Amino acid sequence: QVLGRENIAFRSSSRGQGDTRDISVKIMVRALRGLLDSRTKRMAERIGDAIDWDNGTAVAVRYISEWIRASSAQSHTERKTGNNESTSGVVLPPPLRVDVTTTLGPFTIWVQSPEEAQYIYQEIWVDSVYSMSPLAYDPFEDTETFSTIVDVGAHVGLFALWVAQNLKRASTQRQRQEGKASHREADEESSREKDQGEEDGQDRHNAGSSTKTTSSSQAPMKTKDIQTRIICVEAVPRNFHLLERNLKQNGYEPRKLRLPLVPATCYAATNKSAARFNRSKNVDLTLVEALAWSKGGEKRHITVYPNMTGNSTTKPHQKEDMISSMSYAKRAVYTAGAHTQDATTVTLSQIFRALGVERVSLLKIDVEGAEEDVLEGIEAQDWKKIEAVVLETHDVGDRVKRLVRILMQEKGFEGISLHRDPHAKHNLYLKVTRSAKSEDTC
């Protein structure tokens, strides 16, 4: 009733303004105060007090309404099950469904923040920031060696879905090409037999043609699927839940690799199916709920931003410049409910051993400032398995120079491409391959 009235006004005496506002977040909070539980009330008041009247009022109203809806649903669940999934007193709004149509086909995802998901979708699916084309390298190329694509900082699965859809398209194209080649070979063989039969006599031609026709009709069409494993590593529990949900929603069957990890040879009595590469499918998806780090088996704090979970980080101090550049209202909304969670660490080399990884066609890293920590977790013998690396980093201090030195000088990569995100100037995409072609478009 309060939100439906048209003539609600509130005089903002605290700001010394004499004008009135038709819809006030503060008056809404006060009117609904008796209907909210304590956690949602604190969150709504925090956002309401931080409103910039000229910017972001509508955004704040929407987020508060989501919190109200989430609080009501969660309170009902808690009364029914006795379970409370909130973290640090923060009530998370329910995920929202988004249906997307792309050139690779339609898919559906569940996201925590539609705005953030739209930005990440633009990066990956539209701008192709993780494409290796500037370096003339195709991670989806089929080879005799079964490859692995590693997604560190998988978030809710937009990159994994992009890879899976690309692999599916590549497999379909290859099957068509092989089918055409098979038919062409059959036609050429038939033509050769016909010519030979005419030379050797009609009787011999008929016998040879009959025999060969039977043989070619029974021969199976030669097709070879592209077989690739995708390993998704994600540390934030909420993101991991949506990652698994989104992959299943789109017809994939991801498997979870549970901690602590053991080498693949030790999986015979424990988790044999997760250690073996399912080579009967085009895409084999394995999920790891852990924090990729320089050392495994430790506990690290992650600062989680419920309204922009893709920016959750182990180094929150490095986010200060980005957050301070936001408008007052946007900053209040996106940082509302920020809290810390503990995550168990794992190294990439431990994952490689646990899954018996022999070749990594692409290592993608998006870990919000912890890129060097992830790279330190790769042992010397495993670097030889990695053919290409693409990572998102930020132009902070001399971090980019350090990463280039590590990958080019210490690890032996030769091709390099450095691109700046056109939508966020502080984001850089560093790509390296074993080939020697380089491109710098900063």
pLDDT digit string (tens) for 137-178?
A: 877 765 555 689 999 999 999 999 999 888 877 777 767 777
Residue with tokens 């994994």: 160
Q: How far is CA 293 from CA 259, 347, 412, in A?
A: 14, 5, 21
Q: How far is CA 294 from CA 371, 377, 378, 401, in A?
A: 10, 4, 8, 19
| Separation CA 332–CA 60 (nearest Å) | 9
Distance between first and last Cα of the chain: 53
Q: Going by DSSP bridges, is the β-strand pair 360-365/339-346 parallel, antiparallel, or unpaired?
A: unpaired
Q: Which residues of 84-103 are buried (b: 16+ CB within 10 A; e: fewer)?
A: eeebeebbbbebeeeeeeee
Can you give the pLDDT at residue 134? Answer: 75
Q: Which residues of 364-381 are buried (b: 16+ CB within 10 A; e: fewer)?
A: bbbbbbbbebbbebbeee
Provide the CB-side half-sphere exposure for 238 (13 A, CA). 27
pTM for this model (two decimals): 0.70
Can you give the pLDDT at residue 90? Answer: 55
Residue 228 CB partners (closer than 8 Å, separation 6+)? 140, 146, 147, 148, 149, 163, 167, 282, 283, 284, 361
Residue 106 CB partners (closer than 8 Å, separation 6+)? 99, 100
Please, are residues 221 and 178 in contact by the beta-carbon 8 Å criterion? yes
| Separation CA 216–CA 209 (nearest Å) | 10
Q: Using H for helix, E for strand and C for coil, what is the string for 299-310?
A: EEEEEECCCCHH
Provide the CB-side half-sphere exposure for 27 (13 A, CA). 16
The H-or-E segment that residue 240 falls in is: helix 237-249
Task: State the sign of the Cα–Cα–Cα–Cα dihedral 21, 25, 29, 31.
Answer: positive
pLDDT digit string (tens) for 224-239?
A: 444 688 999 999 999 9
Residue 223 CB partners (closer than 8 Å, separation 6+)? 174, 175, 178, 179
User: From the first residue on, what is the mean pLDDT of each consecutive set of 10 residues in the chain (442 residues)?
Assistant: 38 41 52 58 60 52 58 53 47 77 83 85 89 79 72 96 84 72 72 66 52 41 59 95 94 90 53 42 86 95 89 88 75 79 95 93 94 96 95 87 93 90 81 72 50
Please, are residues 178 and 222 in contact by the beta-carbon 8 Å criterion? yes
Omega cis (within 30) before 260: yes
| Separation CA 48–CA 50 (nearest Å) | 5
